């Protein structure tokens, strides 16, 4: 995995949410949570695994919808932040955080109804192997996102501390075929890359986001979206 040392640093974990999901980044957080819930609802009484759960922003949200959730991450510091959030949740008993390697998931086959991986595949050195492992432990559904090659993100990708693996639609389609997954739906979003939203106040980010949504919803410009949300099912 790219950037493991950077990702597991104490100061990165402590500042992760504030740097990415404050200011204009609140719009990113809201959209990503919306995409996840749209894909996996209804979740009540279902068993769900989130890979690369980080600080637990999705893990806690899903548990509050009535699911039994496990969040797995390689960073002990990130998991510590997630456990702190879970203590403030009324559904803490439905949450479990584990440290582990996404390439060797510590669960038996078909253990979860749904497996989620957000902000993960841009760091994957072997996406097919990771996707196969996710499929192994899932009974029904896998949901993940990718950053797209033909987008504004490619312009500044080299400057990111961990870099990013960027995907074309055809590359992801091939991955799904190789791992026996069927595409249910894919949503493309954010012509303006994430980094731009995080650097401006929310009051300025909101009108930019409105314009982004209006333009990005057209068939032609949709191809240049920065991120895609993939909802897949096991064959």
Q: Does this model's pTM top 0.85? A: yes
Q: What percent of the chain has pLDDT over 90?
A: 54
Residue 163 is predicted with a pLDDT of: 62
Give how many domains the chain has, as a whole number: 1
Taking each helix axis from N to C end, the angle separating 169-178 and 127-137, rounded to the nearest 10 degrees, works out to 50
β-strand partners of 38: none
pLDDT tens sequence across 47-100: 999 999 998 999 999 999 999 999 999 988 889 888 988 888 777 788 999 999
Could you list the residue range(s) of the whole structural domain that residue 120 is in? 4-234
Residue 1 has pLDDT above 70, yes or no: no
pLDDT tens sequence across 136-191: 999 999 999 999 888 766 666 655 556 678 999 999 999 999 999 999 999 999 99
What number is the average pLDDT over the span 39-51? 96
Residue 97, token pair as written in the block: 């955080």
Q: What percent of the chain has pLDDT over 70?
A: 85
What number is the average pLDDT over the span 194-212? 86
Range of 157-166, 192-201, 224-233 with top mean pLDDT? 224-233
- Residue of 199 and 145 predicted with greater confidence: 145
- Give me the chain's average pLDDT, please: 86
- CATH, residue 35: 3.40.50.150
Residue from 170, 169, 209, 205 nearest 187 by CA:
169
């Amino acid at each position: 995995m790219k950037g493991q040392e950077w990702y597991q640093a104490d100061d990165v974990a402590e500042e992760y949410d504030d740097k990415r999901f404050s200011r204009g980044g609140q719009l990113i957080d809201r959209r990503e949570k919306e995409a996840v819930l749209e894909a996996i609802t209804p979740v009540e009484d279902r068993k769900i695994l989130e890979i690369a759960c980080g600080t637990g922003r999705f893990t806690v949200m899903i548990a509050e919808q009535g699911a039994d959730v496990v969040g797995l991450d390689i960073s002990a510091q990130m998991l510590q932040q997630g456990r702190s959030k879970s203590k403030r949740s009324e559904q803490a008993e439905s949450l479990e955080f584990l440290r582990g390697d996404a390439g060797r998931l510590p669960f038996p086959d078909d253990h979860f109804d749904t497996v989620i991986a957000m902000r993960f595949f841009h760091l994957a050195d072997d996406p097919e192997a990771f996707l196969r492992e996710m499929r192994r432990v899932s009974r029904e559904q896998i949901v993940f996102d990718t950053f797209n090659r033909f987008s504004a993100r490619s312009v500044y990708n080299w400057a990111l501390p961990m870099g990013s693996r960027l995907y074309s639609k055809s590359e992801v389609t091939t991955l799904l075929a190789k791992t026996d997954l069927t595409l249910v739906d894919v949503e493309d979003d954010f012509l303006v890359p994430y980094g731009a939203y995080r650097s401006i106040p929310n009051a300025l980010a909101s009108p930019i986001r409105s314009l982004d949504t209006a333009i990005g919803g057209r068939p032609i410009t949709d191809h240049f979206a920065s991120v895609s949300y993939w909802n897949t099912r096991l064959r």
